[in-house]
Structure formats: C-alpha cells, structure tokens
Structure 1
C-alpha cells in the first residue's frame, strides 16, 4: 500500500490502537468550544432579533438548529473513528478515487476564503490591542498589515507543528475562552446593573402563522452554520479513542456552546444599550469602547484566541487534507496547510469584507 500513488502518511488510516488516537470526550468538547466561541457565533442572534424574534425564540432556534446538524455530524463521524480516515479518503467510497477531489476541493476553497476573512479579523484585533497599549503604534507604516501577517504566521505555526498541536491548542484554548466569555458577561452586568431592555422586549410576530415562515428560514440558516463541518468531521474523529468519545464530546460541545455563547451575545448586547445608549453587537467594537487600555487588551486577546482556535480547526484542517488528497505523493498535511494560507491571502479578505460592509 505504501507504494501506491494514492498513499501518504497523513492520509493513511490510523489504527484504533495507534498512538495518534488521543482524542477523548474532553478533546472533542474542547474542539467545539474553541470553534463555536467566535465573532460570528456571538453575533448569530442579531439577525434573528432584528427580524422580529424575542430573545427566547432566537435562543431556541439556535439550539434546535445545532441539534439538527449534530445528527449528520455524528453519522459522518463514525467512519473517521471506525477506520481512522480523513474526509477525502472517506469520500472515495462514494465519488471514486479521482471523483473524491470534487467535494473535498470544493469544501477546501470555501474554507480558504473563510481562513482569509478570519485571519484579517484576528489581525485587526491585534492592531487594536497595540493601539490601546501604545499610542505610537498609530504612526507605524503598514501597521494593520504587520498585524495581519503576524496572525497569519501564528496560524501557520500551529499547522506546521502538526495535528497534535491543534489538539493542544483546543485543549488549553477552550477553558481560557470560557473564562473570557463569563468575564465579559459579568463586566456588562455590573456596568449596566441588570440584563437590559432586550430581555423584556417581546417578539414582533402577532401570531404563529406570521412567525412560522421566518422561523423556518432562520432554522435553515442555523443548520447551515456548521453544515460544512458536518461534511468533513471525520478529519477529527479519526483521532478518537472510541466512538463513545466523539459522540459524548460533540453532543455536549456543539449545541450547548453555541446556545450559551449566543445567549452571552444577546445579554451583553442588551446591556450595552444601557451602558452606551446603543446596541453594540460587534465584540471588537465593544472592546474598543471599554475605556481602560488593559481591559481593551484583555478583551481583544480573547478575540484573538477565539479567532485562532476557530480558524485552525474549521478552516485549515479540511483544505490541508483535501490538497494532500489531490496529490498524495507531493503534498503533505503541512504543505496543504501552507497552500491554504497562501490562497486565503490571495482571495484578498480585506476586499471581501469591504464589499460586504458596503
């Protein structure tokens, strides 16, 4: 098998007794905490509330959407844990050896775009931290670009160190992100003296008949939020100690984290109405208005950590394996990760975000 043109060490099946099988229930829960705590998740409920839902309806929709997407995710997880194979190899059973490149590369290109966008967001957070701590940074030529490529290099460093470094990043990143999130909620509650006006505001729908069409569309969006990860989740479950490990870890990590973090997003935003007189959904914009440079730096350090744990797991692992599968003899997982990083920059995320905002 090693002589085959389709073989490389990174794509080869991992034996169930292999030393790489180090992911238990905690690792999978930490993986989802690290991926789910991110800026898009924080702002997820904003469109639902703006569309007319009450905060309870928005939270229920998010929870139900993640329960639904958990089903295909666990089903696709089985092959990874059973056979120790990544998604591109799993796809060969349905699409054929060459045809498997179609879904895996299509998934990879989407991830490359998101990698670039998340890297730009992380770079902006670092840039804001430096501005809050050192006024002279404003005069540094190309400061935002320095921060962007510094954050890009952080992502590439984790990938070059291999998949074990990703496990370590998520293991230690998850509790840090939980502490930062709870601290943000506590800070806002103390400053506002309560949960704010959003928690007393009713939904805008007069009847269930009016509510149902918006609910169905919103629920579809919630299911789609992590649907790409449901496709390639065996990229991670191939490292599972057992089937039970990934089932328990993912069942706890995905729906609970998404629901609770969306609740924090709603609660903190509601309290910003009392604190600042306007709803601030963007956590980067909120951190910039905290006043104390130390508070700004700590809050944005949380943004950087959240973006890093999401970016590496959600937007690098899949394309790295996909590119490796396209040319197994010439592209390793690490090389595929570097290709992902280069394509992410080539897609010019600063322009993608500028076009979105305008």
Structure 2
C-alpha cells in the first residue's frame, strides 16, 4: 500500500501533503476530503455568531417555560438550563478538536473508530433526527410567513380554502420557507457563515428589544420573578431537576457529535473553542432570562402568561411592529435550522454514497425527507415529539459521543492517520470496513441509557414501568448513562479484543 504523507503545521493542524492523493478513493469527494489550510479561516466571532444563531430560536425560548410549568421558580429554571449547556459544552469541545486539527467533518472523524464503512451507522443515526427537526422548524417558519402575509393581505389570505386540512396559503408559505433554506444551503458553507454572522446579532437585538418593550409596558419585571418555587430546594426539586438537566443536555446532544462539520474550518483550536464557549452557554442562559422576564411582563400587560414569542408579536397593535417581530422569528428559525439540521445530514448522507451525493445534493435530500415525514402531523403533539423523542435520542447519541471521546482522546491520543480515513486496507478498515467494538459499545450504552424508557400514564408511547423495568431508574439520567457506558465499553473492548486477526480481512487499496 502506497504511503500518503501528511504535513503537521507548527500550530498542530494537519493536512495531506498532496491533496490530490485521494482523487481515486471511493470514500472521498470534494466536501468530505480534508479542508486545506487556506480554507480554515473561521474566527472566534464566526463560532460565537454561529452559536448565537443556533441557540436563539423558539424552542430555546420555550425551555424556561417548561421548567417553570413543572413548578420551578425563575432562578431554578435558569440554573438548570445554564448547567445543562455548560455540561454539554465539554463533549462538544472534545469532539470539535479533531475537526480543527485534521480538517474533517463528523462522519469522516467517526471512521477512525467505527470503520470506513461502519461510520455510516452513527452518521445516519444522527442524520435522521436532523431531518425530523428540519421539517418541524420549517413548518414553524412557514406559519410565521403565513401570519405576516395575513396581516398585510387580510382575511382572503388567512381564510383561504383548505387543502389537506390546512389553508392552501399555509402550504404555500411552508413551500417558500423550505425553498429559501434550500437556496442558502445550495450556496455552500461560506454562504452559511456569512448569513450567521449578520443574522445572529440581528436576532439577538430583536429578542432584547422585545424584552425591554414588555418590561417598560408592564412597569417592572412582573410577578414571575417574585413567585416562590412550588418544589422548594429539597427532594421534590431534585426529582424534577435530574431528568430536566438531561433534557437540557440532550437539546444539543446532536451538535455535540457533529461540531467537526464546522470546526474543520477553524483558524485555530483557541478560536473555535473560545467562540463556542462564548456563544453557547451565554446565549442559552440569556434567552432563558429573557423568556422568563418577557413572560412575566405579559401577565401584567395582557392578564395571562404568553410564552410563545410569535403569539406575543401577533398581539401588538402596530402592524409594522408585528411584522418586524415575526421577521425576527423567521430569521431565528433559519439560523438554527440550516446550521443545526441541514449541514450535518448533508455530510452524513454524502458519507454514505460519496460519489453520488455531494454536500449540496445531500442537503436537498435532507429537505425532501423533511417534507416526507409530514412535520405538520408530528407537531400536532409537540410534547410527545419534542420531549419524548429528544430524551430518547439524547441517550442514543450520548453513547456515540462516549465512543468518539474514548477513541480519540484516551486510546489514540488525538493522533490520526489522515489518508487511512479514506481508503480500504488501511488502519481504519478493521474487518470489511467495520469496527465491531464501536458498534457493540454504542448498542450497549444505548441499551442502558434508553432501555428503561417510560412515560407517565397517557403522556407518551412508553409503558409506565419502562421498556425494561429494571433499567427504568437509569432513564432519568439517559444522556450521562449513555456517555459513560459507551466510553467504558469501547475502552474495555478495544483493550481486550486485539485487532491482529482482522488484518487478513483487509481489502486491497484502491
């Protein structure tokens, strides 16, 4: 097998000495190949803006509402949300390192531990949840467009004839919002970087303006900040706090895996790490506080708590203010949806068939799947879709994160053979392109994390006693269980099951 050399630069970043050496590989295309050093120029601001754009969205705004409705006061909700995002930042930065060092996206990074072919297992697992979220967010954005045009066009638009149970004008709004996002993703990752850089601060200004306006209108911060916790700080609080914390972590569990998709463009490890540390926990904490304060003001102004910012914007009398508020909501949805739910599956689907799907065509496939899953049906029961699915997938994806962190940091000590990630017969070919140890560790971690999945009576699809009753206590800690179990299982299997026997199964190089 011919050796393909890699160059290690003084700052630790690595690239192939001859980038054209992968031209004949069946497992590479222009998007999956390592990013060349001149193209790695994202700054601290770019990563902070990226996270501002992804974190400033309506589901993030509603997180505090869910915790307060469970009985927490504003301080408890704020602490749980902040703690969850600080915790998830850890594995996110650990997995981000490989993207910056080697210029590779998540599915290629996963090849080092799951195998060149086996990486499709975690990549497609990650991709399909993103398609679901893409469909949901696109439907929400389409609804905002529908409301905006309705304010301008009147009842003829709002009360248009129904098709499939919805006004045809709503279907048109959904299609327009879908198309706008597809155009952005078709223009490539640099267009996304530019969009996030100006849209994210604008969205932040919009949310702050909404908070300042409602507080001024209410004449103060309102009653919510004064309300005592219904749970106290004892056992009742911690019974709710633990699973709530796992939910906060699971909210970004997908991004904790695929951040290499973005950090592969990083100018340095310091820039990407600092940008993410400044962008994620601070933005999520800020939007939680704004959510609580704004809603407290609506109790004074409107006599009821209005948690949904779109519903609040629709209450304004000035149509210009209404439209401005809804435009901010649309931008907030786009900055999250394109970055969090299209970029990743674009790479993941492309990884499955590199010669047939490029980043752009795979992004189009993501958009099509987002329609096929019929998000208007999924969102009809958001408590089951968002919270049950989120918690369940959080445990599954945590076990993948455990495998990646164990392999990259503990076993390989951040050293990868770049060319072997793209060719059969190399270090990462294992047996027929699959590393069974990583697959078994992922399944084991997932079993412990979500095997005990349960639902309260009438509140979800799982049995009250759990799918596997004796594992039920672990489900409240699903993300932590999946991460630790996947980590430990992969280390144990790798150290106790030698790879020598697999050498005979290696395929010839291309």
Please report the TM-score for the alignment, with normalisation by the length of structure 1: 0.97
CA shift, 1:35, in A, is: 0.3
In the TM superposition, residue 262 of structure 1 has moved relative to its aligned partner by 1.1
3-state SS, counterpart of residue 29 of structure 2: coil
Shift of 1:29: 0.2
Q: 1-side partners of 2:290 and 2:381: how far apart?
A: 28
Q: Does 1:308 align with 2:318?
A: no
* Unaligned residue ranges in structure 1 (runs of 5+): none
Query: 2:25 aligns to what?
Result: 4
Matches within 5 A, 1:144-293: 144-293=170-319
Q: 2-side partners of 1:355 and 1:56: how far apart?
A: 29
Q: Is the 8 A contact 1:77 1:234 kept in 2?
A: yes
Q: Secondary structure at the match of 1:241?
A: coil
Shift of 1:5: 0.5
Match 1:129 to one of 148, 172, 175: 148
- Alignment partners' CA distance in 1, 2:252 and 2:319: 35
Residue correspondences, number: 356
1:341-352 aligned at under 5 Å gives the runs 341-352=367-378
Shift of 1:140: 4.8
Q: What is the match of residue 42 of structure 2? A: 23
Please say if residues 146 and 158 of structure 2, whose CA atoms lie closer than 8 Å, have aligned partners that are also in contact.
no
Q: Which residue of 2 aligns with 1:294?
A: 320
How much has 1:356 moved relative to structure 2?
3.3
- Extract structure 1 runs of 4+ deviating beyond 3 A: 355-358
Q: Distance in 2 between matches of 1:357 and 1:282?
A: 15
SS at match of 2:379: helix
| Distance apart, 1:164 and its partner CA | 0.5
Corresponding position of 1:326: 352
Alpha-carbon distance, 1:232 to partner: 0.6
Distance 1:210 1:139, change over 3 A: closer
User: In structure 2, what is the Cα distance between the partners aligned to 1:252 and 1:51?
Assistant: 29
The Cα of 1:288 is off from its aligned counterpart by 1.1
Native 8 Å contact 1:80 1:235 kept in 2: yes
Q: CA deviation at 1:355?
A: 3.4
Q: For residues 207 and 287 of structure 1, what CA distance do their matches in structure 2 show?
A: 35
1:133–1:297 contact (8 Å) kept in structure 2: no
- Offset at residue 324 of structure 1 (A): 0.4
Partner of 1:138: 158
1:14 is matched with 35
Aligned counterpart, 2:87: 68
| 1:105 counterpart = 2:131 | no
**Residues of 1 paired with 2:264 and 2:47: CA distance?**
12
Q: Once the 2 structures are TM-superposed, how far is the Cα of residue 326 of structure 1 from its aligned partner?
A: 0.4
Please say which of residues 128-137 and 205-214 is displaced more in the overlay: 205-214
CA distance, structure 2, for counterparts of residue 356 and residue 42 of structure 1: 15
Cross-structure match for 2:74: 55
Asked if the contact 2:31–2:359 (Cα under 8 Å) also holds between the matched residues in 1, the reply is: yes
Q: CA deviation at 1:223?
A: 0.9
CA RMSD of aligned residues (A): 1.2
Return the structure number with greater relative CO, CA threshold 8 A, min gap 6: 1
Where 1:43 maps in the other structure, the secondary structure is helix
Summarize the Cα distance change of 1:293–1:357 in structure 2 as closer, same or farther, 3 Å threshold.
farther
- CA distance 1:188–1:326, change in 2 (3 Å): same
Give runs of aligned pairs for residues 23-42 of structure 1, distance below 5 A: 23-42=42-61
Asked if 1:356 corresponds to 2:347, the answer is no
Cα distance between partner residues in 1 of 2:233 and 2:225: 20
Determine if contact 1:133/1:294 at 8 Å carries over to the other structure. Answer: no
